[in-house]
């Protein structure tokens, strides 16, 4: 209980301390935002600050801070310290930098930000990599909520596909309509449901923890079911498993959506940095709930995290409030999946230079996306193994986006004669994580396919690659600063 509450306190204090330091370095100004300079009634629309904050929260808070941490707590209670520290130094900073870069570049999407700051060659690779990842995100965020809906109602396979169809249709409608017609109107309602459901779990945990302090400590049965170091090393696997609670590259694809609806840059810290901190608190609460339920029912540690989630809500909240909370978690996935499809549409239109004011153009962009996602959904449900591979590659690719965004942010800061440390430090670490993971992972390690190297060898190579990427980002920023200076002479 003490470690859990300490972690939440670190998050709250960090928002007002480290978050303010990051804001000072990024330097929000009073210049006009893209919502004012490029208003189009579709994607560039001014929304109230409170709506932007809730939209950003729902955009970024997918199933990661729930399902991911229920899995992640199997690494042990060290998670209660790694989540808040990683969230403040890496995740929230990442989201803030991505949002500010987009605000300063006319609401540009992530591929353009990467291309401008890391060069055309890396930008071309990144753009197509991101589109592929976003399609994986859409597939995962249809599959998971459909499964939860089916589990909630105890339906058969045919009902699962019914839920898939309903969610898919909603995604398509949401990405075609102007942002203020669907997202701006219904997300605040979803946001309230999410916060109330998580708050209910938090209160129930506090009451249960006071009555039984051992509930939030690692029991012998829990320790026996924990991830074993030889098959699940904390570095790199933890930082892939708990992506959304610590850092998530997917968030950088979402920040431009809100950057296009903000009236002032002064809203940026609360909207980008603050909402990631809130997601960290959500992750902490669900991690604690996972620890408690695994202590009570150790056999669940060998089951799907979806089953643990349903048991958490049933045990601590009962059928009524518990059902509402599961619905809130379903909404987490749905409201990230629809904006992932929107981000894919916007990114492709930007890459292919197809104007999106016309409904016809939006439909033409969406049709091939719908086909690809349908194939991914069919494949991911062919077997449990295929879905696990889909999830593993999604999580790994997600952190490649995070590392790339932070390195682009480093170059962006250097080019403006500002300290790049806030981006360079976590960017170097996340580069190390993604390189180490793909070099190490393999079925022999009970993970997805990769190169299957020994862990020490993978770490050595990853250390070298991360150092070289960091140096590249710094020199790229200096080169941009020099060229800018020459143009102004």
Per-residue pLDDT of 95-110, as tens digits, reads: 999 999 999 999 998 8
Q: Residue 293: pLDDT above 60?
A: yes
Average pLDDT over residues 474-482: 94
What is the residue whose two structure tokens read 């939006």?
A: 362
Reported confidence tier of residue 488, pLDDT bands at 50, 70, 90: very low
Please give the pLDDT value at position 190. Answer: 66
Q: Residue 459: pLDDT above 80?
A: yes
> What angle, rounded to 10 degrees, do the helices at 120-153 and 359-380 form?
60
Average pLDDT over residues 205-210: 91
Please give the pLDDT value at position 17. Answer: 97
Helix (H) / strand (E) element for 300: namely none
Number of CB atoms found within 10 A of residue 465's CB: 17
**Which of 117-121, 316-320, 325-329, 392-396 ranks highest by mean pLDDT?**
117-121
DSSP structure string for 315-337: HHHHHHHHHHHHHHHHHHHHHHH
- How many residues appear in the chain? 489
Task: Using alpha carbons, select from 413, 317, 485, 379 the residue that is nearest to residue 97.
Answer: 413
**Cα–Cα distance measured from residue 194 to residue 63, given in angstroms and rounded to the nearest whole number:** 12
Q: Residue 42: pLDDT above 90?
A: no
Average pLDDT over residues 305-326: 83
**Cα–Cα distance measured from residue 391 to residue 139, given in angstroms and rounded to the nearest whole number:** 10
Q: Residue 180: pLDDT above 50?
A: no
Please give the pLDDT value at position 66. Answer: 84
Average pLDDT over residues 3-19: 96
Q: Is 171 helix (H, G, I), strand (E, B) or coil?
A: helix
Q: Residue 321: pLDDT above 80?
A: no
Reported confidence tier of residue 487, pLDDT bands at 50, 70, 90: low
**Cα–Cα distance measured from residue 123 to residue 110, given in angstroms and rounded to the nearest whole number:** 10
In terms of Cβ atoms closer than 10 Å to its own Cβ (0-12, 13-18, 19+), residue 119 is middle
> What angle, rounded to 10 degrees, do the helices at 110-118 and 92-104 form?
90
**Cα–Cα distance measured from residue 288 to residue 294, given in angstroms and rounded to the nearest whole number:** 10
Threshold 0.85, pTM exceeds? yes
Average pLDDT over residues 158-184: 71
**Which of 129-133, 327-331, 350-354 ranks highest by mean pLDDT?**
129-133
Q: Domains in the chain, please, with CATH? A: 2-387 (1.20.1740.10)
**Distance between alpha carbon 3 and the CA centroid of its chain, in Å?**
24
Looking at per-residue pLDDT, the higher value among 301 and 159 belongs to 301
Average pLDDT value for the chain: 86
């Amino acid at each position: 209980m003490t470690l859990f509450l300490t972690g939440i306190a670190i998050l709250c204090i960090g928002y007002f301390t480290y978050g303010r330091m990051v804001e000072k370095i990024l330097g929000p100004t009073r210049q006009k935002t893209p919502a004012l300079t490029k208003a189009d009634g579709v994607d560039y629309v001014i929304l109230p600050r409170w709506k932007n904050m809730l939209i950003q929260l729902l955009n970024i808070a997918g199933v990661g801070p729930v399902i991911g941490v229920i899995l992640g707590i199997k690494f042990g209670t060290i998670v209660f310290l790694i989540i808040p520290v990683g969230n403040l130094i890496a995740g929230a900073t990442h989201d803030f930098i991505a949002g500010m870069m987009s605000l300063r570049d006319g609401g540009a999407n992530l591929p353009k930000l990467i291309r401008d700051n890391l060069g055309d060659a890396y930008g071309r690779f990144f753009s197509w990599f991101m589109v592929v990842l976003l399609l994986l995100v859409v597939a995962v965020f249809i599959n998971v909520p459909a499964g939860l809906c089916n589990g909630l109602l105890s339906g058969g396979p045919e009902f699962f596909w019914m839920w898939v169809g309903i969610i898919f249709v909603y995604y398509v409608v949401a990405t075609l309509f102007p942002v203020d017609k669907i997202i701006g109107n219904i997300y605040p309602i979803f946001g309230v449901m999410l916060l109330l459901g998580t708050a209910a779990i938090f209160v129930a945990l506090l009451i249960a923890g006071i009555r039984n302090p051992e509930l939030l400590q690692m029991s012998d049965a829990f320790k026996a079911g924990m991830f074993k170091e030889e098959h699940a090393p904390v570095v790199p696997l933890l930082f892939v498993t708990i992506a959304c609670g610590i850092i998530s590259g997917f968030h950088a694809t979402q920040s431009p959506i809100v950057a296009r609806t903000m009236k002032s840059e002064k809203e940026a810290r609360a909207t980008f940095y603050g909402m990631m901190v809130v997601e960290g608190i959500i992750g902490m609460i669900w991690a604690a709930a996972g620890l408690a339920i695994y202590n009570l029912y150790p056999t669940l540690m060998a089951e799907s995290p979806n089953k643990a989630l349903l048991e958490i809500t049933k045990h601590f909240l009962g059928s009524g409030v518990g059902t509402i909370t599961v619905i809130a978690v379903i909404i987490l996935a749905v409201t990230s999946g629809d904006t992932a499809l929107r981000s894919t549409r916007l990114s492709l239109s930007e890459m292919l230079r197809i104007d999106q004011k016309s409904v016809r153009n939006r439909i033409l962009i969406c049709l091939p996306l719908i086909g690809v996602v349908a194939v991914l959904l069919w494949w991911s449900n062919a077997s449990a193994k295929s879905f696990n591979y889909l999830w593993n590659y999604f999580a790994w690719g997600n952190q490649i986006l995070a590392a790339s965004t932070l390195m682009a942010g480093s170059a962006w800061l250097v080019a403006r004669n500002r300290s790049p440390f806030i981006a360079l430090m976590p960017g170097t670490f996340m580069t190390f994580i993604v390189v180490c993971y793909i070099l190490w992972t393999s079925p022999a390690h009970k993970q997805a396919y990769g190169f299957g190297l020994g862990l020490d060898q993978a770490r050595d190579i990853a250390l070298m690659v991360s150092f070289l990427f960091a140096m590249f980002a710094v020199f790229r920023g200096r080169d941009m600063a020099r060229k800018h200076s020459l143009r102004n002479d």
